[in-house]
Amino acid sequence: MSTFLLEVVTPERKVYAQDVDMIVVKGVNGELGILPNHIPLVTPLKIAPVTVKKGKTTEYIAVNGGFMEVRKDKVVILAESAELPGDIDVNRARAAKERAEQRLRDAKKDEIDFRRAELALQRAMNRLDIITKQ
Ligand code: ATP
């Protein structure tokens, strides 16, 4: 079976670079499965796990928004932050979730703080989700 190179890159580091069989991502317009030789495309991503299939194994990467670029020879995911399950600090994610929930209770819906708290909550839930998937 053919494979393609998947790279997940943040401003800080290269989180992932391996040959994989297939990935499933959550684009802003819905879920997308990418196999080798997919037509080139660029799409913004939601804050959600990226599922990576490689041989008999399935891995998950917490990708916190950003973009996916499908090129002829590889797929590049660029995000502000992304973590593999082993890199996730559960207590930190739990604390971030609680902080965000508190802010959502305190802020008014039309405030920028409310939107920021919503996004922080999504990142924290995404990280916790990845850990339970393992
Ligand atoms: P926090 O409020 O805990 O900082 P955050 O969602 O605001 O969370 P980000 O801005 O998304 O954090 O990420 C900042 C940096 O910290 C990135 O390098 C990211 O990978 C890392 N990071 C954030 N939360 C965790 C976590 N729970 N475990 C491991 N690394 C994390």
Domains plus CATH for the chain?
A: 4-85 (2.60.15.10), 89-133 (1.20.5.440)
pLDDT confidence of residue 107: 87
Residue among 8, 113, 123 to mutate when testing ligand 1 (max atoms within 8 A of CB): 123
CA distances 73 to 14, 42, 85, 87, Å, are 18, 14, 26, 28
pLDDT of residue 7: 98
Q: How big is the CA angle at 67 (ends 58 and 111), to the nearest 5 degrees?
A: 110
Neighbouring residues of 97: CB distance < 8 A, sequence distance ≥ 6: 121, 124, 125, 128
Pairing of strands 41-44, 14-20: unpaired
83 lines ligand 1 (CB under 6 A): yes
The pairing of beta strand 57-64 with beta strand 30-34: unpaired
Q: Which residue's CA is the nearest one to ligand 1's atom 13?
A: 81
- Report the distance separating Cα 63 and Cα 127, nearest Å: 9
Distance 127 CA to ligand 1 centre (A): 9
C-alpha angle 111-96-77 in degrees, rounded to nearest 5 = 85
User: Closest ligand 1 atom, CA of 87?
Assistant: 29
Grade residue 68 by pLDDT with cuts at 50, 70 and 90: very high
Whole-structure pTM value? 0.95
pLDDT at 4: 97
Q: What percent of the chain has pLDDT over 90?
A: 91
pLDDT tens per residue across span 29-59: 999 999 999 999 999 999 999 999 999 999 9
C-alpha 110/C-alpha 22 separation (Å) is 40
